[in-house]
Amino acid sequence: MSRVRRPEVAEPSVERDRRWHLEDQREFLVRSLADLEAERSAGDIGPEDYEALLGRDRARLAAVVEELAQLDLAEDAERAVATAAATGGAGAGTTADGESAAAKGRSRRRRPRWLAALAVAALAAGTTLLVMRLTSPRLPGQPATGSTPQDITAELNEAATLVERGTSSSLSQALALYRNVLASNPNQPQALAETGYLEWEAGFSAGDRAQERQGRSLVERSLAVQPDDYAAHLFLGTMDLEQGHDAAAAVKQYRAFLAEHPPKDRVTAAAKLITQAFTEAGQPLPSGVPSA
């Protein structure tokens, strides 16, 4: 089920929009790599799927960092031109500090590759530190986020709010919060279900079968812990309908979802998919489901 995304506000600068988009992607990929390491440490992912996802996300991260470096270079060049125009220039082919324009150009052409390498290395180090923070045992007397029921409730509520925003940045932050909850309580059903669906959504959008399987597995684990979790049934029904094209299986999950008397807004949001599943399965639409 595609979550309702709020339209992002358009900015006057195309370059600024592109930068924000790339920075969101960078943040999401760093979080994704941290989640992947946590799952490997917990034994929740096999070696083959781990290597496939690791290679994919590292390649994407390197590409995003490279694009950001190119944006930096373009902005540097624009500033240099503006400065030269304001000062009247420093002589043909020579910058104000005496360096030739050709040499400056060669330096700038070389810069993106090593900048990208440095940035990827720094981000990888940050990912490692994040994984260590989430998975390392707590020292006596050291507070841990998500270690008490009150902490977990607060994090779950904050994550739910971030999911509702629907931006790539807020979703990556929500995923990090759900993972933090799972670090202290690996069987927390809401965190399992939401993490699984976010993973599945990302995999479905990218055509990544390994990530789809990984996400579904987490949702199924949440139902093993809490069989009456309406959200998990809704998620599985949507996976069956959109990925498996199995209307009968989707109807079964949607019936379980409705039987748990979910909030009306959740039923309304899912009405289109529920209607599609029951129509394709040749079954009458249950009462209480609004017209899509």
Number of domains in the chain: 2
Whether 111 is covered by a domain: the verdict is yes
Q: Please tell me what DSSP assigns to residue 282.
A: T
**169 and 220 share a domain?**
yes
Amino acid residing at 204 = F
Q: Is 91 helix (H, G, I), strand (E, B) or coil?
A: coil
Two structure tokens written together for 255: 């019936």
Whether 285 is covered by a domain: the verdict is no
Whether 144 is covered by a domain: the verdict is no
**72 and 167 share a domain?**
no
Q: Which residues contact 283 (CB under 8 A, 6 or more apart)?
A: 251
Sign of the CA dihedral running 69, 74, 75, 76: positive
- The residue whose two tokens read 């904050």 is 158
> In angstroms, rounded to a whole number, what is the distance separating the alpha carbons of residues 41 and 127?
14
Q: Which of 84, 104, 135 is the last residue of a domain?
A: 135
The CATH code of the domain that includes 249 is 1.25.40.10
Strand partners, 94: 100
CA angle 51, 123, 165 (to 5 degrees): 90
What are the distances in angstroms from CA 260 to CA 107, 231, 291? Answer: 64, 9, 20
Q: Is the pLDDT confidence value at 212 over 80?
A: yes
Domain extent, residue 36, equals 14-135
Whether 65 is covered by a domain: the verdict is yes
**Which pLDDT value is given to residue 92?**
42
pTM over the 0.85 mark:
no
List, for residues 6-57, the tens digit of each pLDDT value. Answer: 333 333 456 666 777 677 677 777 777 777 777 777 887 888 887 888 888 7
Mean pLDDT of 195-221: 92
Helix (H) or strand (E) holding 176: helix 168-184
**159 and 274 share a domain?**
yes
Amino acid residing at 34 = A
Q: Is there a contact between 267 and 258 (Cβ–Cβ < 8 Å)?
A: yes
Q: Is the pLDDT confidence value at 207 over 50?
A: yes
Q: Is the pLDDT confidence value at 95 over 50?
A: no
List, for residues 215-231, the tens digit of each pLDDT value. Answer: 999 999 999 999 999 99
Two structure tokens written together for 180: 């933090």
Q: Is there a contact between 206 and 243 (Cβ–Cβ < 8 Å)?
A: no
> In angstroms, rounded to a whole number, what is the distance separating the alpha carbons of residues 125 and 56?
18
**Which pLDDT value is given to residue 52?**
80
Q: Which of 100, 135, 170 is the last residue of a domain?
A: 135
**128 and 28 share a domain?**
yes
- The residue whose two tokens read 């400065």 is 83
> In angstroms, rounded to a whole number, what is the distance separating the alpha carbons of residues 22 and 34?
18
Q: Which of 84, 108, 135 is the last residue of a domain?
A: 135
Q: Is there a contact between 10 and 244 (Cβ–Cβ < 8 Å)?
A: no
Q: Please tell me what DSSP assigns to residue 94.
A: B
**Which pLDDT value is given to residue 27?**
72
> In angstroms, rounded to a whole number, what is the distance separating the alpha carbons of residues 40 and 135?
11
Whether 286 is covered by a domain: the verdict is no
